[in-house]
């Protein structure tokens, strides 16, 4: 781990690392983020691995400005109003994924929406512009610890898992960004944070709080809650060691049972980072007409395997009443 002064040279080196799929911790006005290329499934898997998150929660993709955001989400008038007054700043907008959006499926935990934000911190701005990619960045700490607001917090928490930490001193806002869901008819506040409700309502009028949303619309409540997770519409059978003809097989490793209607292998070499990177795309590919059920081979419960198994368990446990896109 190394804390480096943010200079033109170190920011260029950080941008190169990000473009090559590596991770960089950097300051934003809210907290320090552990950043990776949001369009690179492997880089996003590496973020979850470094944080030791036992679940794949969707991550926020960071961009320099609204013009850039438009390439990744279906932008709308409400987003435009908010961005013109509150961006760059501590406000995250949840918007539908645009068609062909290159944001990694793992970054959105398979959801059809993308959480996107333009941070105002000058080092974050310089890094994003030098990288030329959206940057997925949750807080730069091990899962379960408080968010870091100084570079030394990042170093203490992540150690060698954050090979490079750009030093921006203490974060000025110090709390996470406000998350506002604009993917439906009514804007919904999913998480209070650095941008106040008053400032948001001054720009767009009244917003709803997620607690006030009827359970029927639970899909739009904040992830972390079961209902907002992507689940295939077909039944999922876990720990499969053999398959039947009407099944699609989600395989892992090099010893794969034959006879499935369609087989997709998360990682023939048994690499959990590769498996995480393929997980959502392969679940979607198997969730299609002609396939009666998705059978999943056992995946080890170590490292990223914990989050993979958590996701698979939720997919298998889901019944029709809570199956959401």
Q: Are strands 91-96 and 178-181 parallel, antiparallel or unpaired?
A: parallel
Minimum separation from the CB atom of position 236 to ligand AMP (A): 22
222 binding partner (options ligand AMP, Mg ion, none; Cβ < 5 to 8 Å by kind): ligand AMP
As a residue count, the chain comes to 325
Are 59 and 47 in contact by the 8 Å Cβ rule? The answer is yes
Are 264 and 251 in contact by the 8 Å Cβ rule? The answer is yes
Are 288 and 246 in contact by the 8 Å Cβ rule? The answer is no
Minimum separation from the CB atom of position 136 to ligand AMP (A): 8
What are the tokens at 204?
């767009």
Q: Looking at 90, 194, 223, 248, which residue binds ligand AMP (CB under 6 A)? A: 223
What are the tokens at 246?
């009407």
- Is residue 134 part of the contact set for ligand AMP (CB under 6 A)? no
What are the tokens at 79?
């987003």
d(CA 308, CA 164): 27
Could you identify the residue written with the tokens 């369609």?
262
List of residues contacting Mg ion (CB under 5 A): 139, 147
Q: Which is nearer to ligand AMP, 95 or 249 (CB)?
A: 95
Q: How many residues bind ligand AMP (CB under 6 A)?
A: 21
- Is residue 139 part of the contact set for ligand AMP (CB under 6 A)? yes
* Part in contact with ligand AMP (CB under 6 A); list of ranges 51-59, 74-82, 127-135, 233-241: 51-59
Minimum separation from the CB atom of position 141 to ligand AMP (A): 9
- Is residue 41 part of the contact set for ligand AMP (CB under 6 A)? no
Other CB atoms within a 10 A radius of the CB of residue 52 amount to 17
318 binding partner (options ligand AMP, Mg ion, none; Cβ < 5 to 8 Å by kind): none
Interface positions, 258-297, toward ligand AMP (CB under 6 A)? none
Minimum separation from the CB atom of position 139 to Mg ion (A): 3
Could you identify the residue written with the tokens 């019944």?
319
Interface positions, 84-113, toward ligand AMP (CB under 6 A)? 92, 94, 108, 111, 113
DSSP 227: G
d(CA 203, CA 86): 9
* Part in contact with ligand AMP (CB under 6 A); list of ranges 8-16, 17-25, 173-181, 211-219: 173-181
Are 254 and 270 in contact by the 8 Å Cβ rule? The answer is yes
Q: Looking at 37, 41, 167, 176, which residue binds ligand AMP (CB under 6 A)? A: 176
Other CB atoms within a 10 A radius of the CB of residue 143 amount to 16
Are 61 and 115 in contact by the 8 Å Cβ rule? The answer is yes
59 binding partner (options ligand AMP, Mg ion, none; Cβ < 5 to 8 Å by kind): ligand AMP
- Is residue 118 part of the contact set for ligand AMP (CB under 6 A)? no
What does the binding site for ligand AMP look like in residue numbers (CB under 6 A)? 57-60, 92, 94, 108, 111, 113-115, 138-139, 176, 179, 181, 190-191, 222-224
């Amino acid at each position: 781990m190394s804390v480096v002064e943010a200079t033109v040279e170190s920011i260029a080196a950080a941008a190169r690392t990000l473009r090559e799929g590596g991770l960089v911790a950097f300051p934003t006005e809210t907290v320090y983020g552990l950043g990776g290329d949001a369009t690179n499934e492997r880089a996003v898997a590496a973020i979850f691995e470094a944080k030791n998150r036992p679940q794949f929660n969707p991550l926020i993709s960071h961009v320099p400005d609204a013009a850039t955001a438009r390439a990744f989400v279906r932008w709308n008038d409400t987003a435009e109003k908010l961005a013109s007054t509150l961006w760059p700043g501590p406000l995250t907008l949840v918007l539908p994924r645009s068609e062909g959006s290159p944001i990694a499926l793992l970054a959105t935990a398979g959801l059809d929406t993308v959480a996107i934000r333009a941070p105002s911190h000058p080092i974050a701005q310089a890094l994003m512009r030098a990288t030329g990619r959206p940057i997925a960045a949750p807080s730069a700490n091990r899962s379960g610890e408080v968010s870091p607001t100084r570079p030394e917090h990042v170093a203490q928490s992540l150690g060698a898992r954050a090979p490079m930490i750009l030093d921006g001193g203490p974060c000025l806002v110090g709390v996470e960004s406000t998350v506002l869901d604009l993917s439906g008819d009514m804007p919904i506040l999913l998480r209070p944070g650095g941008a106040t409700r008053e400032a948001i309502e001054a720009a767009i009028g009244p917003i709803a709080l997620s607690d006030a949303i009827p359970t029927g619309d639970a899909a739009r409540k904040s992830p972390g809650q079961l209902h907002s997770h992507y689940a295939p519409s077909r039944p999922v059978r876990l720990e499969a060691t053999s398959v039947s003809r009407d099944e699609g097989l989600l395989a892992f490793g090099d010893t794969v049972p034959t006879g499935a209607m369609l087989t997709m292998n998360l990682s023939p070499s048994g690499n959990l980072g590769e498996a995480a990177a393929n997980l959502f795309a392969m679940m979607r590919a198997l969730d299609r007409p002609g396939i009666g059920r998705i059978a999943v081979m056992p995946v080890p419960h170590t490292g990223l395997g914990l989050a993979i198994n958590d996701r698979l368990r939720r997919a298998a446990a889901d019944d029709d009443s809570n199956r959401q896109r």
